[in-house]
Structure 1
Amino acid sequence: MAELNSLIETAQRYAQEDPNPSTTTLIEQWITNAKAGDGAAIEDLRSRFGTTLEFGTAGLRGKMEPGTARMNRVMVMRASWGLGQVLKTTTQGTPKVVVGFDGRRQSRQFAEDTCAVLNGLGIEVCLFMDPVPTPLCAFALLHERANAAVMVTASHNPPDDNGYKVYWGNGAQIIPPIDSEIASAIQKAPLVSEMRRPTPPEAHKQGLRHMLSDSTAEAYLDEVLKRAFHPQASSNSDLRIVYTAMHGVGGRLVQRALHRAGFQGVTVVSAQADPDGHFPTVAFPNPEEDGALDLALATAKEVDAHVILANDPDADRLAVAYKDGDGYRMLNGNEIGVLLGVDALFATKGKVKNPLLVNSLVSSTWLGHIAKQEDVAHAETLTGFKWIANTAMQRLQDKGDNFIFGYEEAIGYTVGDLVRDKDGVSAALQFAQMCARLQNDHSDPIQELKRLAVKYGLVGTLQWSKRPNGKTGQRRIQQILTGLRTNPFS
């Protein structure tokens, strides 16, 4: 009974904060049914209000439903208040935050709530007008010389999820102790109803709200094209490309990048070209999942494409399939990473002093072996691009190493330091240009992998995944992680 009373108290307090009137009615119904002994209603309360959605280095991510353990407007506004408090104590003058959002349901609303809370704390915000790729938001942070950025996205999670991703002033995702400082501040957040939240016109009048136009995207594309490795190869290439945005936000930028680079043979999977948070043509909006690229493969066969390029919904990842005989071979994340890494290495040879290649420890050791044989600096980091980006910056400061490429096997790559996070847009262009270069040399990515194996030695990898569901699954995950920490692989 004590647990139920505590759940009811938490749920009632939450209902007072949620701006959605229908939420109050829903929670009252759960409470009434729970008091009557309805087991399902009690479990509803327990799953939604028994814990609090934790803020960590990945920010927030969860299912969009009412509750302290879910992703919703209340939790977004609490997180924004906590972020604002930390910015005010660590920034000289008025802090500035870039805010972006993807095409998922409620993403725009969450972005507006973020802006309102930050504006209420006297913090300046620069908000994108339309849904944007995550790498564009990360680019804008440095471009606008802001102190932080918030990207509302759940990346390639299921359709009912959303998330809140935070970058710091150095351009990378937050790392300890910043995450714990924000989490501690969130615990002190007042009721949402007590937070000052000026309207957009009020915030604009106070000089605290600015809208980011297409000029930001143009500045990003200018830099991507300026840093491209093989402009001559793409300017007259007959490479046939099929591209899919996977119902996400990468389509406009990727198409513009490819067009400006000279690729004219680009076919877009029209059924997946526009942002749609329901992801109607895929069971799971992750290009690595079985069946996710079925439409792209069918389109590629129709136009006899050489290569398929696929972004995940927020366009920070890139999947690739290349024509192999009568079909197409999916390249895994390690193969794409090694191809792009070697391409970057030799394209910058003699042009970049002390080049540095980086990958995470869950990725293949192949790139590291190649770097060693080429006498080039290489670093291996913890899992997550925040560590890749921060390691690159630290190595530049400590040793003068200049970062040229980093990747993680979960199809995340970044070429150079333009964006200090995964960037599926620039990676798509770089891979297309690499294909054009290889085509001019009467080769292709599959043949190039064989050449690299012969020259440097082959490192085999095998990808296997299992998704434990529910509380039982979460407990099993924790048991596995505890076991690995206690008895790590030697």
Structure 2
Amino acid sequence: MSYISIYEEWCKKATEDADVAGELKAIEGDDVKIEDAFYRNLAFGTGGLRGVIGAGTNRMNIYTVAKASQGLANYVCGNFAEDARRIAVSYDSRIKADLFAKTAASVFAANGIKVFIYSQLMPTPCLSYAVRALDCAAGIMVTASHNPSKYNGYKVYGPDGCQITTEAAAEILADIEKVDAFEDVKKVDFEAALENGAVEYIKENVYTDFTNEVLGQSLVGDEEIDKNVAIVYSPLNGTGLKPVTRALKEAGYTNISLVEEQKNPDGNFPTCPYPNPEIKEAMALGVEYAKKNNADLLLATDPDCDRVGIAVKNAAGEYVLLSGNQIGCLLLDYVCSMRVKNGTMPADPEVVKTIVTTDLGEQIARNYGVKTVNVLTGFKFIGEEIGRLEKQGKDASYIFGFEESYGYLSGSYVRDKDAVDGAFLICEMFAYYKTRGISLLDKLDELYAKYGYCLNTLHSYEFEGSAGLEKMQGIMATMRNDIPQIGGIKVVKVNDYLKGIDGLPKSDVIKFFLEGNSSVVVRPSGTEPKMKVYVSVSAENETASTAIEKEVLAFMEQLM
């Protein structure tokens, strides 16, 4: 069926949502726009769905959400006993997120699946927690994480609280592809389903239990810690306001100021077009507030509150943003040192990180006698490792997991990155060191002095539409040819994860190991039309590392 034929079918049948119907009418006769909206079905994988909100099979709308939900419902009904068919649902502040969440719930309920949904927007880690707490077969989180406002998405979780495995994603996709969005989707009225009990709001005690688990990650014990540190916090118009401030206040941090313009949920993200704490521009308003309040620490979480970024003052009184790798290494060292100090280090401790996350973490872990497990990009692989340990009765061995994209988790109570836990741990670490006259920058310099300087940078290149997808595929094919040098540095080893390496699932990722303990990782994003390049350079100091990184990046950009 051609994209024009599919478009014409949608014009006739997609009448329930006025926004979609209006857009279909607006693009009439525009072949380029029609092709982009209908040339493919929105990709579904281990990250679920993610795309631009709008009309079309390649867009996020109630029809693509309902089709995916029907496929997931068919999968659950085909793989779980009737009394185990339960799905947890949550959503963030994105445009139409509540509508998409209720659409999904209406489909699940129509298929005889019990639905538990939060009565208000809640972070991704709260969804992961609810899946396990309520013994669900699956969970969905309506979010596009840190993407711009035009995006929304649909993450799918398995019964273990992790995002679905590659195998499960393939089975669910097969079920989705059998569904006709207009003929095969079962649906009931959401409010009616609430009344008859097919859909139930998640009770407050589940959220309270989650908060208590976060507070239980404290490592200071009875030691002195100044909790009057001045904190500025921004939820970046997402879900973090209530859970982050609740955890911090219950832990005794009362000197908290909020970035007013970014405090309340708003899917338009008016002051931060890219609501991502990785990006300097998203943190700019928070830095202004920090300066105005003479704050000790700036915290910001992304819309679904699974990533957290920070800024701290340097010796000159200027605010410095720390990278995800830097924060992760500081937290890892803090967790390890405090566990050793408190006598709570398990017999066979383990830290889990992704292959694109700094190798400095492995050196820190080794210093404390902690094993490092490297997994593929995506926190779900860290979650799967936690589950593996749990099945072996060794869940206490897991002490920390992190990834370079500002994701951290110190406990096994959820199976995804948790910015509530991350914010709580960062504040505790900051206050602990400040009480002893040590800044986080001092601590970071101490780590570099001990283990050597390591520069880690991430570079993203956008490739929109069908032509962009083809270009990315061509780049990866080029990368798989023999490349003897990158930026004048000899390539000593290549890991092509598409072949399957170290027992990891096959993945379209290539890692080049360079002479001098540096590396480059290249991969297409699983959720965005982007190619991502991770550069890691080890050298004697920052100046030398930056010079090498510049040469490496120049070579890579020639291939883009």
Normalising by structure 2, report the TM-score. Answer: 0.81
Residue 313 of structure 1 aligns to a residue whose secondary structure is: coil
Of 342, 367, 371, which aligns to 2:365? 371
In the TM superposition, what whole-angstrom CA distance separates every residue of 1:420-472 from its partner, at most 9, and x where no partner exists? 10111110000000011111221021111122222333333234343344554
Task: Confirm or deny that 1:450 pairs with 2:408.
Answer: no
Q: Per-residue CA shift, 1:194-237, capped at 9, x if unaligned?
A: 53322234424543211014332211111111222226568642
Shift of 1:239: 1.1
Query: Partner of 2:6 in structure 1?
Result: 10
Deviates more, 1:406-415 or 1:199-208: 199-208
Is 1:46–2:43 an aligned residue pair?
A: no
Q: Which amino acid aligns with 1:333?
A: G
8 A Cα contact 2:70 2:186, kept in partner: no
Correspondence for 2:57 = 68
- Give the CA deviation at 1:323: 0.8
121, 145, 150: which one aligns with 1:155: 145
The structure-2 alpha-carbon separation of the partners of 1:468 and 1:290, relative to structure 1 and needing over 3 Å to count, comes to: farther
Structure 1 position 133, deviation (Å): 0.9
Query: After superposition, where does 1:109-188 map in structure 2 within 5 Å?
Result: 109-188=99-178
C-alpha contact 2:311 2:319 (8 A) present in aligned 1? yes
Matched, 1:278 2:268: yes
Residues 231 and 273 of structure 1, relative CA distance in 2, 3 Å threshold: farther
Deviation at 1:342, TM superposition (A): 1.5
Which secondary structure does the structure 2 equivalent of 1:103 belong to? coil
- The one-letter code of the counterpart of 2:211 is L
Structure with more of its chain in helix, by fraction: 1
- What is the alpha-carbon distance in structure 2 between the residues aligned to residue 234 and residue 98 of structure 1? 40
Q: Partner letter of residue 324 of structure 2?
A: G
1:392, distance to aligned residue in structure 2 (A): 2.8
Unpaired runs of 5+ in structure 2? 483-493, 495-511, 514-560
- Decide which of 370, 380, 394 is 2:374's aligned counterpart: 380
In 2: Cα distance, 1:82 partner to 1:317 partner? 29
> What amino acid is aligned across from residue 6 of structure 2 in structure 1?
T
Q: 1:341 to 1:18 in 2, by over 3 A?
A: farther
Residue 320 to residue 201, structure 1, CA distance change in 2 (3 Å) = closer
Which amino acid is 2:365 matched to?
A: A
Is 1:20 the equivalent of 2:11?
no
Does residue 1:246 correspond to 2:242, yes or no? no
Contact 1:98 1:146 in 2 (8 A): yes
- State how far apart, in whole Å, the 2-side matches of 1:254 and 1:301 are: 21
Q: Is the 8 A contact 1:77 1:192 kept in 2?
A: no
Structure 1 residue 344, shift from structure 2 partner: 1.6
Q: Deviations over 1:81-111 (max 9, x none)?
A: 1111111111122300000000111000000
Given the superposition, is the C-alpha separation of residues 231 and 323 from structure 1 closer, same or farther in structure 2, using an over 3 Å criterion?
A: farther
* Aligned residue in 2 for 1:37: none
- CA contact under 8 A between 2:225 and 2:435: conserved in structure 1? no
User: Is 1:78 paired with 2:67?
Assistant: yes
For the residues of structure 2 that align with 1:383 and 1:154, how far apart are their CA atoms? 17
* Contact residue 396 and residue 403 of structure 1 kept, 8 A: no
Matches within 5 A, 1:26-37: 26-28=23-25, 30-31=27-28, 33=29
Q: What letter is aligned with 2:24?
A: I
Find the counterpart in structure 2 of residue 36 from structure 1.
none
- Find out whether 1:329 has 2:329 as its counterpart: no
| Structure 1 position 404 matched with structure 2 position 417 | no
State the Cα deviation string for residues 276-313 of structure 1 (Å, max 9, x = none).
Answer: 00111123211222321111111111111111111011
| Residue 237 of structure 1 pairs with residue 232 of structure 2 | no
- Contact between 1:100 and 1:152, CA under 8 Å: does it hold in 2? yes
* Counterpart-to-counterpart distance in 2, 1:291 and 1:233: 37
Return closer, same or farther for 1:128/1:481 CA change in 2, 3 Å cut-off. Answer: same
Shift of 1:374: 2.3
The equivalent position to 1:227 in structure 2, one of 204, 212, 217, is 217
Per the alignment, residue 477 of structure 2 pairs with: 482
- Aligned residue in 1 for 2:435: 440
Q: 1 CA distance for matches of 2:462 and 2:19?
A: 33
State which of 280, 301, 309 in structure 2 corresponds to 1:290.
Answer: 280
User: Structure 2 vs 1, CA of residues 476 and 437 (structure 1 numbering), >3 Å: closer, same or farther?
Assistant: same
Cα deviation for residue 399 of structure 1 reads 8.9
Amino acid at match of 1:70: R
Identical columns (%): 31
Alpha-carbon separation, structure 2, partners of 1:225 and 1:137:
18
In the alignment, the residues of structure 1 paired with residue 93 and residue 195 of structure 2 have an alpha-carbon distance, to the nearest angstrom, of 28
Going from structure 1 to structure 2, the CA distance change for 1:105 and 1:382 (only over 3 Å counts) comes to same
1:208 maps to which residue? 198
Tell me which amino acid in the other structure corresponds to 2:357: S
Q: Distance in 1 between matches of 2:224 and 2:465?
A: 48
Contact 2:323 2:406 in 1 (8 A): yes
Asked whether the 8 Å contact 2:259–2:289 carries over to 1, the reply is yes
Aligned partners of 1:18 and 1:74 also within 8 Å:
no
Query: Which amino acid in structure 2 is aligned with residue 364 of structure 1?
Result: T
Using a 3 Å threshold, how does the CA distance of structure 1 residues 233 and 424 change in structure 2: closer, same or farther? farther
Partner of 1:462: 457
Per-residue CA shift, 1:295-341, capped at 9, x if unaligned? 11111111111111110111100101111122011111111011111
1:139 and 1:171 in contact (8 A); partners too: yes
Structure 2 letter corresponding to 1:267: S
Measure the CA separation in 2 of the matches of 1:140 and 1:97: 9
TM-fit CA distance, 1:140: 1.0
Match of residue 312, structure 1, among 302, 307, 310: 302
TM-score normalized by the length of structure 1? 0.92
Shift of 1:23: 3.5
Cα deviation, residue 119, structure 1? 0.6
Is residue 17–residue 191 contact of structure 1 (8 Å, CA) maintained in 2? no
**Farther off after superposition, 298-307 or 19-28:** 19-28
Specify which of 334, 338, 351 is matched with residue 329 of structure 2: 338
Q: 1:196 to 1:476 in 2, by over 3 A?
A: closer
Whether the aligned pair in 1 keeps the contact of 2:36 and 2:465 (CA below 8 Å) is no
Find the aligned partners of 1:486 and 1:131 in 2 and give their Cα distance. Answer: 47
Distance 2:96 2:89 in 1: 14
Q: Is the 8 A contact 1:231 1:433 kept in 2?
A: no
Structure 1 unaligned blocks of 5 or more: 34-40
- Which residue of structure 1 lines up, in the alignment, with residue 77 of structure 2? 88
Specify whether residues 474 and 375 from structure 1 end up closer, same or farther in structure 2 by C-alpha distance, changes over 3 A only.
Answer: same
Alpha-carbon distance, 1:191 to partner: 3.8
SS at match of 1:291: helix
